[in-house]
Amino acid sequence: MVINRRRAIATGFGAACASLVRLHGQVKTGSELEQARSLFDFEAAASKKISPPVWARVQGASADELTLRWNHEAYERIRLRPRVLIDVSKVDTRVKLLGLDLPFPILLSPTGFQSAVYPDGDLASVQGAGAAKALLVISSSASKSVDEVAKAASGSVWFQLYVQRDRGFTKALVQRAEAAGCRGLAVTVDSPTFGARNHEQSVQGAMPPRPLPNLQGADYLDPTLSWKDIDWLRSFAKVPVLLKGILNPDDADIAVKAGVSGIMVSNHGARNLDTVPATIDALPHIAERVNGRVPLIVDGGIRRGTDVIKALALGATAVGIGRPYLYGLGIGGAEGVTRVVDILRREFEATMMLTGRPTLASIDRSVLWPKEW
């Protein structure tokens, strides 16, 4: 998306993206959506509105939740190095990603069990994403079928895939997703089993029923998954295949050589293996090994527009958010999702202007303060 200085002022950059001049309709004065001026505000408001057991599932991570904390703390340690007297009267956030022309490099990562956060949650999320012009990755553990969610989309969608034990079922699911209009396949590869979800397990309270129309039961992970299964998927998939859950540069290199179309640098929102690094710490090592051969998407811990520019500077083509749009969903359904994306996008645009980076191509490591200084 191209934005000039006049529009920047009109849409609220001067108030840290909180002036509430919106692209997608008006929010009622005094509402929770209006009061939430940052993604952290959305988190605080959602914690009071979502039931304790569901909130524990949304917020919970693995074991001692060290990686969960590191995911954002790592961004806080990275310093920006702005340039001045550069014409930023227009900033261009458009990005090409696997055949798609996107207005900005922020995606909505797959999240499950959205119906517990908001009625018909998956449908509301994809509608909110479309209103914000953001690509959404539909989860295999969505509460609605991939067909239903894709049908409700007004923008581009991908599908996140768990390769299940029944390969015939998996193949049919991929073909259903493609027929429904999904433009990419994000295969989760970091989950041979579930992590130690102690936080989630410790909270007492009834959980609502969890429909899983895209999965064969609750035990849907397959510990036998290997590189040969990626070859098998690629043999019939008609859309780009990405691997989600890469943290090791060696695996990234193998993935590129295996012919995958993209890599999602992710630690599963810190929900699987605790004490793995923050994704932003792993990203530059993976970017160095991949060396531009395929696009990289990073998720985990992104809460500010400054985080987005840091991720792009360290090698990401785009970023993904997960929990933040669930906060918006829980507070205001589709409109809440749209507003979360709008706030993050506007913060990112403001950061580009304030660091003297008018285009995505101008964002490189020189925008980061060297560690040795």
Cite the active site residues. 268
For 364, the token pair is: 């490189």
CA 300 to chain centre: 7
Nearest one of 317, 360, 322 to 341, comparing CA atoms: 322
C-alpha span between 32 and 15 (Å, rounded): 18
Task: Return the SS3 of 7.
Answer: helix
Give the DSSP per-residue string, 113-134.
-GGGTSTTHHHHHHHHHHHHT-
> Burial level of 159, CB count in 10 A (0-12/13-18/19+)?
buried
Question: How many C-beta atoms surround the C-beta of residue 231 within 10 A?
Answer: 11
Give the helix ranges, DSSP H, for 258-304: 279-290
Q: Which residues pair with 188 in a beta bridge?
A: 244
Give the helix ranges, DSSP H, for 5-50: 5-10, 32-35, 39-49
Q: Which residues pair with 264 in a beta bridge?
A: 244, 297
CB contact burial 191-225 (16+ within 10 A = b; e otherwise):
beeebebebbeebeeeeeeeebebbeeeebbbeeb
> Burial level of 323, CB count in 10 A (0-12/13-18/19+)?
buried
For 231, the token pair is: 């070859």
C-alpha span between 261 and 352 (Å, rounded): 28
**What torsion do the CA atoms of 65, 275, 63, 273 make, to the nearest 10 degrees?**
120
What distances in angstroms separate CA 255 from CA 56, 145, 259, one per listed residue?
Answer: 34, 29, 7
What distances in angstroms separate CA 100 from CA 6, 105, 134, 204, one per listed residue?
Answer: 28, 11, 11, 44
